[in-house]
């Protein structure tokens, strides 16, 4: 069974569009995260949610907004997409310090 699943796996879109990436975890974890993998392959944390409260928000443009309808889901909405948003985005959930990652979504903005 997939522990952390995110969809879609690939997303190709035009500049200026609004898109969403969905994430679901069936592990019963309280904390979920969104990471962005940059061009140097570093994973940088964008958001983390604990019991539906935003507890980390690195310097991310407000065009990015996480939405958590319940503790098993943390979706990422991106408005007015820009070329620089092209990257791979990873969802994760955690129990204490052990992270479980989704398989990633490769976003390409044309």
Partner 1 sequence: AQSVSQHNHHVILSEAASLELGCNYSYGGTVNLFWYVQYPGQHLQLLLKYFSGDPLVKGIKGFEAEFIKSKFSFNLRKPSVQWSDTAEYFCAVRGGNTPLVFGKGTRLSVIA
Residues contributing to the site for partner 1 (CB under 8 A):
9, 35, 37, 40-45, 88, 90, 97-101, 103-106
- The rounded distance, in Å, linking the Cα atoms of 28 and 2 is 13
Minimum distance from residue 19 beta carbon to partner 1 (Å): 16
Alpha-carbon dihedral angle through residues 10, 49, 95, 45, given to the nearest 10 degrees: 60
Please, what is the minimum distance in Å from the beta carbon of residue 26 to partner 1? 15
| Between 40 and 59, CB nearer to partner 1 | 40
The minimum distance between CB 62 and partner 1, in angstroms, equals 20
Considering the complex, state which of residue 75 and residue 89 has its C-beta at the smaller distance from partner 1.
Answer: 89
Beta strands in 4-96 (DSSP E): 4-7, 10-13, 19-25, 31-37, 43-50, 53-57, 64-67, 75-78, 87-95
CB 4 to partner 1: min, Å = 10
In the bound state with partner 1, the residue whose beta carbon lies nearer, of 72 and 99, is: 99
Q: Are 20 and 77 in contact (CB under 8 A)?
A: yes
């Amino acid at each position: 069974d997939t522990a952390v699943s995110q969809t879609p796996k690939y997303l190709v879109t035009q500049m200026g569009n609004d898109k969403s990436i969905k994430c679901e975890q069936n592990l019963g974890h309280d904390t979920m995260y969104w990471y962005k993998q940059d061009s140097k392959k570093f994973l940088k944390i964008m958001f983390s949610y604990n019991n539906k409260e935003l507890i980390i928000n690195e310097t991310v443009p407000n065009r990015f907004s996480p939405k958590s309808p319940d503790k098993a889901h943390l979706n990422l909405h991106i408005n007015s997409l820009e070329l620089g948003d092209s990257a791979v985005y990873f969802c994760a959930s955690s129990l204490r310090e052990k992270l479980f990652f989704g398989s990633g979504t490769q976003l390409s903005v044309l």
